[in-house]
Amino acid sequence: MSHRLFVAIKPPPDVIDMLIDTMEGVDNVRWQGEDQLHLTLRFIGEVDTPQANDIADALGSVRAGKFDLAIRGAGHFEKKGRPHTLWAGVAPSRALIQLQQSVESACRSAGIAPETRVFAPHVTLARLSGRAGDIAPFLAQHGALRSEPFTVERFFLVESTLSAKGAHYDPVVAYGLS
């Protein structure tokens, strides 16, 4: 059996509510649902069950302390000069980078190829198609988006199931931070 996996941090309910409140003002985009809002530490992709178990075990060896994180700003990613994702950024955090590096090491120890993309911490708000409306007003309104700091107490191994309605995310294992 195949599993599509990633490792993520889930913001607390008040931050999720704040992010949902920003989700308007751009036509023809697919806004993320409440259950889809997360900060990806490592996208793993498709693996078979034995490797998924190895990954889950390896992530259990990650040791990191709790730390504070805050939403800071909004922006977009482009592909071939066209916007494809609207996101909320996070304030710089040494502890977040260290956690991400530990997660990356654990994934490599479980046989996952090294990540080649630079870690760009963000929470995806919307996916854009070629028919998406102008994003400039959204970015102007939410460019200074800020949340109060929140404490990250755990991270998750998450399974993603794709469908015509978008992705559905199921946390498989939660890993506590000390």
Residue numbers annotated as active site: 38, 122
Rounded to a whole number of angstroms, the distance between the first and last alpha carbons of the chain is 33
C-alpha neighbours within 13 Å on the C-beta side of residue 88: 27
Backbone angles phi and psi of 161, in degrees to 5: -115, 120
Burial of residue 177 (number of CB atoms within 10 Å: 0-12, 13-18, 19+): middle
Both structure tokens of 149: 């700091």
Instruction: Please give the DSSP secondary-structure letter assigned to residue 101.
Output: H
Place of tokens 């178990």: 53
Question: 86: which residues sit within 8 A by CB, 6+ positions away?
Answer: 26, 29, 74, 75, 76, 124, 125, 126, 128, 135, 138, 139
Closest to 17 in 3D by CA, of 42, 41, 31, 37 = 37
